[in-house]
Amino acid sequence: MEEAYIIKGYRTAVGKAPRGFFRFKRPDELAAETIEYMISNIEGFDKKTIDDIIVGNAMPEAEQGLNVGRLISLMGLKIDDVPGVTVNRYCASGLETIALASAKIKSGMADCVIAGGVESMSFIPMGGYKPVPGYNTVSDGNEDYYWGMGLTAEEVAKEYKINREDQDIFAFNSHQKALSAIENKKFDSQIAPINVEEIYLDENSIKKTRNHTYAQDEGPRKDTSIEALSKLRPVFSSTGSVTAGNSSQMSDGAAFVMIASESYIKTHNIEPIARLINYSVAGLPPKIMGVGPIKAIPKVLDKTNLKISDIQLIELNEAFASQSLAVINELNLNNDIINVNGGAISLGHPLGCTGAKLTVQLINEMKDRKLKYGMVTMCVGTGQGAAGIYEIL
């Protein structure tokens, strides 16, 4: 069996949705340009040696429809030879694609695959344009199958006794860590700069365009404080504790890695940087989907014969402060190694992209710190959890 190695990875900066700097940038263009940038940073690379492009996307319709994975292959590589496929495991889609690519390579089905994800929450609303709940399912008392994520965050806060103050402190710390990371240029080498043609009105109300390149995350707020966060009203329940300030930001972004077999990297004299050791997904009641990592993390540790103490750095997707704290508390995770450069509350959560984005961030930070084992984990809508363990080479 071949081993599968990550040889390169980049992400875009993350823009706020729906009014951020990528509001005019189509998701297929965003992804294609990220892949184009990644390939440009591999000297002498032959695009025709890529076997497949696997693209994660949580709302694959409209500008993200028509098998956006294949369209991204055509647009990003500018050749017809490489196929493309779209994968949807909601928030874990970008991580799922990396697992699928690694599995294909290990089984001998492929030698070189680009995997990752893209999401534009500016173009596509949460839930898509036409969500259609099953009447019989709802009437049978399973309304939580279709709950919005905010309601599940409130349910987690209630069931796991996560108070408002702790959620706001967690959110504040996320912003502080992200701001520090940006100031210290932690993300600079991992971000593919993206050019956007912006539409604006001049002083005479005439529509014009201008170009701007974006390479820094838009979400972190220097003006936030625990006091300001504490004044925000709950969004999903009048008596609840989940606010816009302690929830992840709706976002636009893309992230991809290139994965290759051992024989491929030897033939092409490429130095690998990391590998996905193993990956697990798990199911749980949809109403508490936020605590999916509580089930997925032990499962992937069992598969790898590792203990949680062996994991030196963790990217835990901050869908909400309530679910992040519940996972940390229940598994007794070490806060000092979790989201050291901020998380989705400050940096954003472009759904289908996030798993790949966190992978790129994790690998870069682990290389800087000279660490060996790291983990990306996240909750997933409709009651799922996902976790992947990486080894830095």
The residues that are catalytic are: 91, 349, 379
> Torsion angle, CA of 206/210/216/220, rounded to 10 degrees?
0
Nearest to 282 by CA among 267, 290, 268, 293: 293
Residue closest to 272 by CA, chosen among 258, 285, 284, 282: 258
* CA separation for the pair 71, 84 (Å, rounded): 7
Residue 351 half-sphere exposure toward CB, CA atoms < 13 A: 25
Q: What is the Cα–Cα distance from 60 to 62, expressed in whole angstroms? A: 7
Q: Which residues contact 33 (CB under 8 A, 6 or more apart)?
A: 76, 192, 194, 195
Q: What is the DSSP string of 52-89?
A: EEEEE-SS-SGGGTTTHHHHHHHHHH-SSSS-EEEE-B
Listed in order, strand segments (DSSP E) in the chain are: 4-11, 15-16, 52-56, 84-87, 112-120, 194-201, 207-214, 251-261, 274-283, 313-316, 373-380, 384-392
Cα 236-237-243 angle, rounded to 5 deg = 55
Pairing of strands 52-56, 112-120: parallel
CB 35 within 8 A of CB 67: no
* Nearest of 68, 13, 76, 10 to residue 252 by alpha carbon: 13
Amino acid in the structure at residue 383? G
